């Protein structure tokens, strides 16, 4: 277990239920039960559910190679169907793609897809490309929220990254997943992980041994590949 807010039995149930939902949606599409103009939105919903399942498996403590393979398996669908509607989902996907060690060609395809979004910015580009591709560092979609994370990149400021990490959960009150661990009548919680902080730390090669026990920091994922 990597998560300390729920036990293995909870995540087993969560994952089983989400996989059943995915199968239901996929069967409905295959059987022609979904109107043509709704298929894109349904496929986007499938991708969000799959992303939640992958995060839940990470929270449960699944082997990282298995998590990597499952994430990689959904990238083709992502690159063809993702609508890029919510910035934090885009940043999460980009961060996981990098942390899980997807190859350069796949990261480039993900980058091309995410660039279709109006909120594609320097932060997502850095996560996907590092210093390899120049991108305007003044183009930040949500400068106030990500101020310290951006500062950690542009000024190589480790303390700014730690400040962002430690304020990440409290600063995410408007997110749909916020406080889902407190809900008892439905299984909505898949784990709280600040994947973007891990991705930036890895890109910058920051020393992070002292962050190993930080609640939201995906330490083993940062050091996976």
Task: Work out how many domains the chain is built from and give that number.
Answer: 1
pLDDT value of position 168: 98
Mean pLDDT computed over 152-158: 94
State the pLDDT confidence band at 200, using cuts at 50, 70 and 90.
very high
Q: Which contacts qualify for 110-119: CB closer than 8 Å, 24 or more apart?
A: 110/75, 110/78, 110/79, 112/79, 113/78, 113/79, 113/82, 113/84, 114/82, 114/84, 114/90, 116/84, 117/84, 117/85, 117/87, 117/90, 119/84, 119/87, 119/90
- How many CB atoms within 10 Å of residue 178? 14
Q: Tens digits of per-residue pLDDT, 61-105?
A: 999 999 999 999 999 999 998 987 799 999 999 999 999 999 999
Q: Tens digits of per-residue pLDDT, 111-131?
A: 999 999 999 999 999 999 997
Query: CB under 8 Å to 189, separation ≥6 — which residues?
Result: 5, 6, 10, 14, 177, 180, 181, 183
Stronger pLDDT, 131 or 18, i.e. the higher one: 18
Q: Would residue 12 count as lying in a domain?
A: yes
Q: Would residue 3 count as lying in a domain?
A: no
pLDDT value of position 83: 87
pLDDT value of position 190: 98
First to last CA, the chain: 20
pLDDT value of position 39: 84
Q: Would residue 1 count as lying in a domain?
A: no
Complete DSSP assignment for 16-31: HHHHHHHHHHHHHHHT
Structural domain containing residue 41: 8-222
Q: Would residue 2 count as lying in a domain?
A: no
Distances (CA, A) of 80 to 155, 199, 200: 36, 24, 26
> What is the DSSP-derived secondary structure letter of residue 146?
T
Q: Would residue 141 count as lying in a domain?
A: yes
For residue 134, pLDDT beyond 80: no
């Amino acid at each position: 277990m990597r998560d300390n807010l729920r036990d293995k039995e909870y995540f087993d149930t969560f994952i089983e239920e989400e996989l059943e939902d995915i199968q239901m949606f996929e069967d409905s599409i295959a059987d022609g039960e979904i109107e043509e103009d709704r298929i894109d939105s349904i496929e986007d919903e499938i991708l969000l559910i799959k992303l939640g399942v992958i995060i839940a498996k990470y929270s449960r403590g699944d082997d990282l190679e298995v998590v990597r393979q499952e994430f990689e398996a959904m990238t083709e669908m992502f690159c063809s169907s993702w609508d890029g509607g919510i910035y934090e989902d885009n940043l999460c996907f980009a961060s996981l793609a990098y942390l899980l060690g997807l190859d350069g060609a796949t990261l480039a395809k993900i980058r091309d897809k995410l660039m279709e979004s109006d909120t594609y910015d320097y932060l997502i580009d850095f996560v996907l490309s590092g210093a390899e591709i120049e991108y305007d560092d003044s183009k930040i979609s949500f400068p106030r929220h990500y101020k310290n994370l951006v500062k950690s990149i542009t000024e190589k400021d480790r303390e700014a990254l730690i400040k962002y990490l430690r304020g990440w959960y409290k600063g995410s009150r408007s997110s749909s997943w916020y406080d889902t661990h407190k809900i008892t009548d439905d299984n909505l919680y898949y784990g709280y992980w600040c994947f973007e902080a891990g991705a930036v730390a890895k890109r910058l090669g920051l020393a992070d041994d002292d962050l190993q026990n930080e609640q939201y920091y995906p330490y083993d994922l940062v050091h996976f590949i």
